[in-house]
Structure 1
Amino acid sequence: MTSHLFSGWLARAALSCLLAGQALLQASAATADAPNRPTATPFEDSIAQRAQACTLCHGKQGRAAADGYYPRIAGKPQGYLYKQLLNFRDGRRHYGLMSDLVAPLSDAYLLELAGYFAQLDLPYPPPLPASLSAAELARGEQLVFKGDPARKLPACVQCHGSKLTGVQPFIPGLLGLPRDYLNGQLGAWRSGQRQAVAPDCMATIAKTLRLEDINAVSQWLAAQALPAGAKPALALPAPLPMDCGGLQ
């Protein structure tokens, strides 16, 4: 997808989510203004109710949107979700809709919101078949499990866990994500649109990867089924291969 078409698609998606959010807020206000109506539904003041604003873009219960760009947030480590909310709020990640939504929210509130989605244990959809050749997918698999020592590229499993399901509390899983999202995030790190606290290890990795590497890795990952009972690991079996400020 060319850059101007991709930007236009994002703008339309953001507008759709924003309009849906406004409709939800208006409906809630109408209910609050008419508490004595027999048909009025009492407003549930809970984190589950407030989290519904997130599901307008991220899908029902945070399972991911069908468009392939808004990712699954259900079941990701709480620390990772919390860090990303802080990154959007504090300007290290740049997406206007997310930044505007979390701008007025406190650290404590964002941590509570992250905890709500982290505790959801929901099934994943089946993976989509890849569209690359066997040789290209083999290259993606090699980078995932072995990296490229000649270019000082660590393997994905060295940070994201041997099962690629993430590691508590700050490292997300790589399976169950659409390839468009994986491509988009690696591209955002390459361009500087997405950042983490220095030293930004993912930015270093993404800028070392070639474009064909990114496509091969994202296609291979998106085509893999999750192992049964997939959850983030409690710890890595070995130290991280490089310093990552976003994990502190």
Structure 2
Amino acid sequence: MNAMSELRQMRQARQQWRGWVVAAALASAGLGPAASAAAAQAAVPDTMAQRMQACTVCHGKEGRATNAGYFPRIAGKPAGYLYNQLVNFREGRRHNATMSYLVEHLSDEYLREIAGHFAGLDLPYPPPQSTAVAPAQRELGAALVQRGDRQRNIPACVSCHGQHMTGAQPALPGLLGLPRDYLMGQLGAWRTGQRRAAAPDCMATIANRLTPQEVGAVAAWLSAQPIPADARPAPRPSSPLPLDCGSGLQ
């Protein structure tokens, strides 16, 4: 997705969000029988699904996204992970103008409600991306995801994100069904300090131990993997994580 397309989607999200705020204000005002026909037609059901329509402008229908572009799937992610990210946007640890705008005045309680809504959606995933990748790059990505690199103290991705890479409760996200550009962008953001998490920030530590070539290889391999039949996050890990992680088990 080019920069102009991304900007248009962000503007649409802001416009829709303003619309929901206006609708909520009208509802709280208690429109009586004398309300105009236009106002009656504009009334919408006050459900979380309706309130979250602004999110779908970028994240796709019901938050399921697609395998193209830059915006990640949020449907079915662990509630703890989604809540942590909403807080990170609100508190400035993650940087996206639209996300920060949408959540800057929302309470912890409401952010948890939003996270629970999307976490509870069990929806089909898009097919994996079909991107030409050199065999050596594919093998490098698979090795890092499945085995890591002990000599450089880089844990395997599966040691935290689950053997099937579908995430783990309560706050470890799945990494399948995400666009390669998004995965590369997030690893790059951790490397440069543009994305942070609660200390100790284990992902920043890992990302800074990867070379740019390895970042590209991991992103390419993950984005090309088929989704398992059961894509739900695994139960809470029974053993400690390989690195201290401030947000992984909140």
Q: Which residue of 2 aligns with 1:238?
A: 239
Q: Measured at CA, do residues 214 and 35 of structure 1 come closer, stay the same or move farther in structure 2, by a change above 3 Å?
A: farther
1:106-162: CA deviation from partner (whole Å, max 9, x where unpaired): 000000010000000100011111321111101000000000111110000000001
Which sections of structure 1, spanning at least 5 residues, go unmatched? none
Alignment partner, residue 229 of structure 2:
228
The answer to whether the Cα contact below 8 Å between 1:59 and 1:65 also exists between their aligned partners in 2 is yes
Q: Which residue of 2 aligns with 1:214?
A: 215
Q: What percentage of aligned pairs have identical amino acids?
A: 55
Q: How far is 1:70 from its partner?
A: 1.1
Residue 26 of structure 1, CA deviation: 8.6
TM-score between the two structures when normalised by the length of structure 1 = 0.89
Following superposition, the deviation at residue 12 of structure 1 comes to 4.5
Residue 113 of structure 1 is matched in structure 2 by 114
Residue in 1 that maps onto 2:14: 18
1:111 aligned partner, one-letter code: R
Deviations 1:16-60 (A, max 9, x none): 4334544x4498489868944187153211222111121121111
Q: What is the identity, as a one-letter code, of the residue corresponding to 1:243?
A: D
**Taking structure 1 as reference, are residues 120 and 130 closer, same or farther at Cα in structure 2, changes over 3 Å only?**
same
Task: Tell me how many residue pairs correspond in the alignment.
Answer: 243
Q: Within the alignment, does 1:37 sit opposite 2:37 as a pair?
A: yes
Q: Is this contact kept in 2: 1:131–1:219, CA < 8 A?
A: no
What residue is the counterpart of 1:192 in the other structure?
A: 193
Q: How does 1:69-218 map to 2 (within 5 A)?
A: 69-218=70-219
The answer to whether the Cα contact below 8 Å between 1:31 and 1:40 also exists between their aligned partners in 2 is no
Equivalent residue, structure 2, for 1:51 = 52
Q: What secondary structure sits across from 2:87 in the alignment?
A: helix
Q: Contact (CA 8 Å) 1:80, 1:169: kept in 2 or not?
A: yes
- Structure 1 residues 78-113: Cα deviation after superposition (integer angstroms, max 9, x where no partner): 010001001101111111110111000000000001
Report the Cα offset of residue 230 of structure 1: 1.2
**Does structure 1 retain, via aligned residues, the 8 Å contact 2:13–2:54?**
no
Could you tell me how far apart the structure 1 residues matched to 2:68 and 2:222 are? 18
Deviations 1:196-234 (A, max 9, x none): 011100001111111110111011000011110211001
CA separation of 1:88/1:117 partners in 2, compared to 1, >3 Å: closer, same or farther? same
- Runs of 4+ aligned structure 1 residues displaced above 2 Å come to 8-22, 24-36, 235-238
- Aligned partners of 1:59 and 1:66 also within 8 Å: no
Post-superposition offset of 1:13: 4.1
**Aligned AA (1:18):** R
More deviation, 12-21/187-196: 12-21
TM-score by length of 2: 0.89
SS in 2 for 1:40: helix
Letter in 1 for 2:125: Y
Q: Which stretch of the first structure deviates more once superposed, 199-208 or 31-40?
A: 31-40
* Structure 2: distance between partners of 1:36 and 1:215: 57
Give the AA of the match of 1:197: A
